[in-house]
Chain A
Amino acid sequence: MEFFESTSLKLILGAIVLLPLLGFVLNGLTAFRAPERKTIPSVVGPAVMVTAFVLALTVFLRMLGADLHHPIIHSYWSWIPVGNLQIDAALQLDQLSILMTLIITGVGSLIHIFSIGYMKSDPGYARYFAYLNLFVFFMLVLVLGASFPMMFVGWEGVGLCSYLLIGFWFKDREKADAGKKAFIVNRIGDAGFIIAMMLIYANLGTLSFAEVMEAAPAAFVYGGALVTAITLFLFVGATGKSAQIPLYVWLPDAMAGPTPVSALIHAATMVTAGVYLVARAGVLFALAPVTQVVVAGVGVLTALFAATIGLAQYDIKKVLAYSTVSQLGYMFLGVGIGAYSAGVFHLMTHAFFKALLFLGSGAVIHAMHEAFHHTHKDWDAQDMRNMGGLRKYMPITWATMWIATLAIAGVWPFAGFFSKDEIIWLTAASAVGPYAGWYKLYWAVALIAAMLTAFYMTRLMVMTFHGENRSGEKEQKHIHEVPAVMWIPLAVLAVLSVVGGWINVPHAVADLPVLGWLPSSEWLHHWLHPVTAVADEILANGRGPLAEVAPLGGGAGTWAVVSFAIAVTVILIAAKTIGSRTYRPAVESAEPAGFFRVLNRKWYIDELYDTVVVRPVVAISRALWKFVDQGVIDATVNGLGRGARIVGWAGARLQTGQLNTYAFVLIVGVLILLGYIVF
């Protein structure tokens, strides 16, 4: 226990956070002074990440042996001491934050290594690694921060880095606009976060996590309006950062950035910040059952909605983007119903297989790009209609991406099966208490969304890797597997996608015949228990015990088998359906029509936002500019200036230089004085 209170841990935690910042500084200097030098960023970028991961791993191993029940908080300096508000620059170490740190540094290191190959020929190489390191620094501040403001520093910082990295190729107007869109939509959510912070401070007088979670059960009424308001505002912030309805619109556009950026930021780390926030403030959410229904509802609706759009996209990255939005919906469903460890579990497995999917698609895009470059064909390297049959050219990528697809579809024994299944089962089990009807509905929607997930992922794989190659005769000769620096991270992530779920096998599954081959451990649930204990207790008191049987009958084990069977069936159906269609390359394909067109155009949501939100805001801004800024403020200031000049002109008329004038003024002055005295 002394280790955790000691300065060595303080230094280690500080080092974990600051190493990426050091990487940013060094890479940034390289980017300024010698942008063409690629060796320094190639070494510094991944090295700081790997070092941070190793340090985090040592802390984790120490924590495994110890049995911590309270978070360890190390305060570095006093940041905001204002009257009653004392906020320190402090880092908090507990089971949840170390788990997040391992995910961020581990998956991040793999992505950094992949980037060495992917961005090899890009002129902004050093700048890329600088921004990537800076992003990891802010993300670590976000998950390790000990108070809401500290977390908010990281929150804002990752938003900034997301903007910088999405608009990395800023010379292209569309890509720069995508970066702006991400930042602005995030900001809307941030407003909710700030309001929530103010409400928390106003009612509890503190903003550090430990103190807030301790004081909240006593200070807030269960289900009261105040705590519901606070949690709803926090959730608004989460929807912005984690791309839920209605603020998800930035994430598909964010695919304009380099693919490893999409893998790191928009799959594994930044978008999970919202889920982390809800898990961290679990006590508050547990006190507000109305918010829980809202969170779970928005999550599952987003899951379904995004899945429908993903079915109809042709750009490989867009499919994965909507898949991310959809899976985030599952995570919010998990933390919304109060199953914090389940939500975090899905966060972890999703990090593995989604990063793998993105990196794999990056490999595909890299290969297609090179092929088209060789033959000077200006086809879109990301459009799946231009791919096909890549299995024989890129076997490693094919294999690893299939592993990830099976994981995301929820096929046993891959990682996604356990996490997604647990969330869906717990949704059914939460159908007790006053909001049971809602949860039953959510359960049904979640099952439908799972089917759609399996379908669109299979569609992606079949269109890309199977069937006839549509890239062209000459191009085929130039498509080849990616170099080792790029496929080794894919392989590591594939292994994780297989075994990652085995740390949290629920008892019900372990009791099953064939599927029960894996030992039950529920290790993650027990590991996170100290963090979620208070929230679990509040939920048990408020909602009652969980149901044992799903609304349609059958226990946990039954439904595990059922969802596995559904997943496999849908994959087979999809493979048959998509495989039997003939696709033409993008330039020769017909435009989408009918309902498919609606899905392809993303349900016209962007156009709707443009008409309802963007245009009125721009019009109001223009009116304010013309009438208030120019008409009132500028007029006042300019008017004052003009007035001063007029007064000056009037005064100058007195200075005639004529003696008689001065005599006259003298007499008038004396008269005034005398008059004042006499009268």
Chain B
Amino acid sequence: MLTNSLALATILFIIGALGVLIRRNAIILFMCIELMLTSVNLAFVALSRSIGIEGQVFVFFVMAVAAAEAAVGLAIVISLFRHYETVDLKNFNLLRW
């Protein structure tokens, strides 16, 4: 089951990365990032069965940080929306300068 779980984690990670690359809606982008983080959690948990409890502890922290990051990120999206009336990433190119 370890092997299969790692494979599953990889596949979910790949799907999340693909989502980040091809979605234009900022919020959906965030969701795909969460998916990637969760897939990593799965990998940690699968490996902790063999190696030790530290894996699960780490997953705990990952979840905490993911939650915090989601909160702040969404706050940013909201202030962006207030400015530009859209969350379509196609319109945001301030990073160019």
Given a CB threshold of 8 Å, the question of whether A touches B is answered with yes
What residues make up the interface of A, taking CB atoms closer than 8 Å to B? 655-660, 662-664, 667
B21 x A657 contact (CB < 8 A)? no
A663 x B90 contact (CB < 8 A)? no
Docked Cα-Cα span, A663 to B89, in Å, equals 12
Interface SS of chain B: helix
In B9-31, the 8 Å CB interface with A consists of: 17, 20-24, 26, 29
A678 CB to nearest B CB, Å = 13
B93 x A658 contact (CB < 8 A)? yes
Given contacts A667-B17, A667-B21, contact A660 B89 (CB under 8 A): yes
A659 x B92 contact (CB < 8 A)? yes
B68 at the interface (CB under 8 A from A): no
Q: For the complex of A and B, list the 7 residue pairs with the smallest distance between their C-beta atoms, beginning with the closest.
A: A657-B93, A657-B96, A657-B95, A663-B20, A655-B96, A659-B89, A664-B21
A660 x B21 contact (CB < 8 A)? yes
B51 at the interface (CB under 8 A from A): no
B1 at the interface (CB under 8 A from A): no
B80 CB to nearest A CB, Å = 11
Docked Cα-Cα span, A657 to B29, in Å, equals 16
Give the contacting residue for A658; candidates B20, B22, B89, B97; CB below 8 A: B89
A660 proximity list for chain B (CB < 8 A): 20-24, 29, 89
Q: Count the B residues whose beta carbon is within 8 Å of the partner chain — how many? A: 16
Tell me the nearest residue of chain B to A659, going by C-beta: B89
Known: A658-B93, A659-B26, A659-B29. 19 other contacts (CB 8 A): A655-B96, A656-B96, A657-B94, A657-B97, A658-B90, A658-B92, A658-B95, A659-B95, A660-B20, A660-B21, A660-B23, A660-B24, A660-B29, A660-B89, A662-B95, A663-B20, A663-B21, A667-B17, A667-B21
In B66-97, the 8 Å CB interface with A consists of: 89-90, 92-97
A664 proximity list for chain B (CB < 8 A): 21
Docked Cα-Cα span, A656 to B93, in Å, equals 6
Docked Cα-Cα span, A667 to B21, in Å, equals 9
B89 proximity list for chain A (CB < 8 A): 658-660
Docked Cα-Cα span, A667 to B36, in Å, equals 13
Docked Cα-Cα span, A201 to B84, in Å, equals 83
Query: Would you list 23 pairs from A and B whose C-beta atoms are within 8 A, ordered by A residue?
Result: A655-B95, A656-B93, A656-B96, A657-B92, A657-B93, A657-B94, A657-B95, A657-B96, A658-B89, A658-B90, A659-B26, A659-B89, A659-B92, A659-B95, A660-B21, A660-B23, A660-B24, A660-B29, A663-B20, A663-B21, A664-B21, A667-B17, A667-B21
Docked Cα-Cα span, A655 to B93, in Å, equals 9
Tell me the nearest residue of chain A to B22, going by C-beta: A660
Docked Cα-Cα span, A656 to B29, in Å, equals 18
Docked Cα-Cα span, A662 to B97, in Å, equals 14
Tell me the nearest residue of chain A to B20, going by C-beta: A663
Docked Cα-Cα span, A258 to B29, in Å, equals 91
Tell me the nearest residue of chain A to B24, going by C-beta: A660
A667 proximity list for chain B (CB < 8 A): 17, 21
B84 CB to nearest A CB, Å = 13
B97 proximity list for chain A (CB < 8 A): 657
Docked Cα-Cα span, A265 to B41, in Å, equals 99
B93 proximity list for chain A (CB < 8 A): 656-658
Docked Cα-Cα span, A656 to B92, in Å, equals 9
Tell me the nearest residue of chain A to B23, going by C-beta: A660
Tell me the nearest residue of chain B to A670, going by C-beta: B17
Docked Cα-Cα span, A353 to B34, in Å, equals 110
A655 proximity list for chain B (CB < 8 A): 95-96
